Chains A and B, each alone.
Chain A
Amino acid sequence: MPGEESLVQRAKQGDREAFAQLYEEYFDRIYRYIAFKTGDRVEAEDMTQQVFLNALDAISSFKWKGISFSAWLYRIAHNLVVDYLRKKPKRAATLVSESPAGSDGNPQLMAEHSLDIERLLSACQRLTEPQRQVISLRFAGELPIAEVARIMGKSQGAVKALQHSAIVALRKALLGTDEEVQRI
């Protein structure tokens, strides 16, 4: 985000407008990341709000020590998600994208899009936690590999290898899902 450093600096000094701009910039992406990781819309809503409240609370102590503001925000989100996954009841959750983009208001496409996303989320639930993390950050968070590596505290090489294994596992899970869907 251009000018992010100066916005963060202003937000650190208590500039509400600067923080509001950062909020608008990252709100959808943080929601998407959490929704993708948890597969649960209700939890994603609660946690997204909490991420920004936590960030607001801690912004004064934020320091640019080799970590960008976005990486810092995703770390807050990641910690909340990890906490949630540790405590959540063993029950399948579903998430519905209420405003699917790219369907241009076509009801058929909107419904199919919603189901596609549900299948994707369902397949993701079958990945290992590090695999799900890399897929969430890369595809839902739309972050470059260097940023993903910083957030996960791994080397870029390790993240690339993880990304490879995650896509292979996801493909298997999606094919499994699709086969079942075709049999229905």
Chain B
Amino acid sequence: MLCVRHYWELMRKSREFDNILDECLESLLTEGATVEQCLQRFPKHADELKPLLETALATRKASTIKPSPDFRDRARYQFHSALQEMGRRKSGVFFRWGWQPRWATVAATVFALFLAGGSTVAAASGSMPDDPLYPIKLATERVQLAFTFSAVGEAELHAKLADKRVAEIIHMAKENKPEQIERTAQRLVTDLTKIALLSSPREVTSSIAMAPAAEEAPVAEEAPLLTQRAGGGKEAHDKVDRRARLKEIIMHQADNNTARLHALLETAPESAKPALQRAIALSETGYKKALESFREKP
């Protein structure tokens, strides 16, 4: 009987604390209250509340996730097309696709690239962000990433893409297109952040366990060191070697690309310089973060 009473007392206290926590979260999330203000309201529970509210504050960063401008434009166009279509076809059959998993999307992209034709895809590979073929270049890169099956392989590919982004920024600066410089710099940040995450020991170690043995990273001319793949069956050692080589590549790229972008500041049109300076700062910070992820030996 005593046990049952004790259990119900615990339940009551637990419910009471859940309510207090929620009240504090509501204040933090919607009223802009501080952790301290919440703790002052519930001093009896301050010790227990404090770490939870600090975690909640860190979690609030989730509300800053935003779709990329490219995607927003593309999605809005597609949605408005669908709205027009709805006006014409009330039956709605057009929309009765279920969501397709990533591989279906990739397959659809591959099919679209196939329809676009080999010569178009080849032409797109050299396109710049202001070029009509540029979306095909991005789609091709997305397919390459989808067919890369390890963290190290994916990081290598992002390193090559980062090199391409820098080349595009340089081209756009020469063309005096600041908006395209900004957009491309965001894509560069994406690639460099992914390198930082994929190169961390946790990702490399887990991918050794998870990746298919026959994984082969796509090779591009910007990063020749990556072509020197280690042979043999010791996959774990191969990955560690590849990670070390990737670090060298990133160091080389960081120096080289930073120097190229700084040199461009001398000759770029005045109106492109502010965007270029932001791109340089983003590039430097991004490469620094990427290199920091290599500090620990797995």
Tell me the A residues contacting B by CB distance below 8 Å: 14, 16, 19-20, 23, 27-28, 31-32, 35-36, 40-50, 52-54, 56-57, 80, 83-84, 87-88, 90-92, 94-102, 105, 107-108, 110-118, 120, 122, 135-136, 138-140, 142, 144-145, 157, 160-161, 163-164, 167-168, 170-171, 174, 180-181, 183-184
A174 to B95, CA, bound (A): 40
B 46-76 binary contact with A (CB < 8 Å = 1; else 0)? 0000011001101111111111110110011
Tell me, yes or no, whether B35 is within 8 Å of chain A by CB.
no
- The 10 A-B residue pairs whose C-beta atoms are closest, nearest first, are A107-B281, A57-B95, A160-B18, A98-B68, A171-B55, A111-B285, A140-B62, A184-B296, A101-B64, A50-B99
* Segment from B110-118, B127-135, B194-202 that makes contact with A: B194-202
User: Which residues of the other chain, B, contact A100 by a CB distance below 8 angstroms?
Assistant: 64, 66
By the criterion CB–CB under 8 Å, are A56 and B186 in contact? no
Q: Which residues of A contact B65 (CB under 8 A)?
A: 31-32, 35-36, 95, 97, 117, 140
Q: Which of B64-99 contact A (CB under 8 A)?
A: 64-69, 71-72, 75-76, 78-80, 82-84, 86-87, 90, 92, 95-99
- Set A19, A57, A118: member contacting B193, Cβ < 8 A: A118
Tally of A-B Cβ pairs under 8 angstroms:
217
- With beta carbons under 8 angstroms apart, the residue of A44, A94, A112 that contacts B194 is A94
A183 with B296: CB separation less than 8 A: yes
Verify B66–A107 contact, CB threshold 8 A: no
CA A31 – CA B75 in complex, angstroms?
Answer: 11
**Is B120 in the interface zone, CB < 8 Å from A?**
no
Known A54-B95, A180-B200: A115·B64 in contact at CB below 8 Å: no
Query: Distance (Å) between the CB of A28 and the closest chain B CB?
Result: 6
Segment 139-189 of B: residues with Cβ below 8 Å from A: 142, 149, 151, 186-187, 189
Does more than half of chain B's interface fall in helix, strand or loop, or is it mixed?
Answer: helix
Q: Name the residue of chain B whose CB is nearest to the CB of A57.
A: B95
Q: How near does chain A come to B162, taking the closest CB pair, in angstroms?
A: 13
A42–B102 touching, CB < 8 Å: yes
Chain B residues whose CB sits within 8 angstroms of the CB of A122 once the complex forms:
197
Q: Which of B17, B92, B289 contacts A164 (CB 8 A)?
A: B17
A163 with B18: CB separation less than 8 A: yes
When A94-B197, A97-B66 are in contact, do A53 and B95 touch as well, CB less than 8 Å? yes
Query: Which listed residue (A49, A53, A97, A184) contacts B293, Cβ 8 A?
Result: A184
**A173 to chain B: closest residue by CB:** B55
Binds A, one of B22-30, B217-225, B244-252, B257-265: B22-30
Contact across chains for A56 and B190 when beta carbons are under 8 A apart:
no
Within 8 Å of chain A (Cβ to Cβ): is B105? yes
Does B278 belong to the interface (CB within 8 Å)? yes
Q: Known contacts A14-B87, A94-B194; is A46 also within 8 Å of B99 by CB?
A: yes
Q: How far is the CB of B80 from chain A (nearest CB, A)?
A: 7
- Contact: B200 with A96, CB < 8 Å? no
Q: Are B62 and A92 in touch, CB under 8 angstroms?
A: no
Task: Report the nearest B residue to A90, measured CB to CB.
Answer: B210
B86:A139 contact, CB within 8 angstroms:
no
CB distance from B140 to the nearest CB of A (A): 14
Q: Kindly provide the distance from the CB of B287 to the nearest chain A CB, expressed in whole angstroms.
A: 10
Which residues of chain B come closer than 8 Å to A92, judged between CB atoms?
151, 203, 206-207, 210
Closest Cβ–Cβ distance, residue B21 to chain A (whole Å): 6
| A51 CA to B240 CA, complexed, in Å | 41
**A55 CB, nearest partner CB in chain B, Å:** 9
B278 near A56: Cβ-Cβ < 8 Å: no
> Can you name the residue of chain A whose Cβ is closest to the Cβ of B206?
A92
- The distance from the CB of A79 to the nearest CB of chain B, in whole angstroms, is 9
Give the distance to chain B from A165, nearest Cβ to Cβ, in Å.
9
Tell me if A101 and B79 are in contact (CB < 8 A): no
Residues of B within 8 A of A145 (CB): 22, 26
The listed residue (B55, B66, B102, B151) touching A170 by CB distance below 8 A is B55
Q: With both chains docked as a complex, state the minimum distance between the C-beta of B47 and any C-beta of chain A, in angstroms.
A: 14
Taking CB atoms and an 8 Å cut-off, the chain B residues in 252-298 that contact chain A are 278, 281-282, 284-286, 288-289, 292-293, 295-296
A45 and B71 contact, Cβ closer than 8 Å, known pairs A102-B64, A115-B193, A145-B22 = yes
